[in-house]
Amino acid sequence: MREKYPSDLTDKEWAFLEPLIPGGAKLGRPPKYSKREIVNAIFYLIRSGCSWRMIAHDLPPWRICYYYFMIWKRDGVWEDIHERLREIVRMHHGKKKPPPLRLWTRRVLKQLTTVESVAMMQANGLWAAKDTYLWTH
């Protein structure tokens, strides 16, 4: 057993995060490192400000941590965790849970952010090019 770092998750924090972290593949060999240790390594990196290659040697290898970090980023896991934590903090401070976007709002946003739609709005002078970069990239 390794020595604990200040960035390590407590059991209570892990109980909250564990259901939000995707499980491993059902086929193949069992993973060598637990998801908790990988998350601890990612939090160590964030808290210490070091680079990936400078992760402590008693944590999982940096390549494995980086792989999972990027996979979870691509799959929106970090955004889901952020949204859940934000909801908890809002409710703790007596604010209402924000309502989810309605289906028609999502459809309109999806249509408005296509490259063709943005180009048409720029051509008609509705949006300046500098205002639409983040919508299309």
Per-residue pLDDT of the chain (137 residues; tens, 9 = 90+): 789 999 999 999 999 999 999 987 778 888 899 999 999 999 999 999 999 999 999 999 999 999 999 999 999 999 999 988 888 888 888 887 776 666 666 667 677 677 777 777 777 776 565 555 444 55
pLDDT of residue 127: 59
If DSSP states are collapsed to H, E and C, what string results for 36-102? HHHHHHHHHHHHHCCCHHHCCCCCCCHHHHHHHHHHHHHCCHHHHHHHHHHHHHHHHCCCCCCCCCC
pLDDT of residue 39: 96
pLDDT of residue 66: 96
The pTM of this model reads 0.68
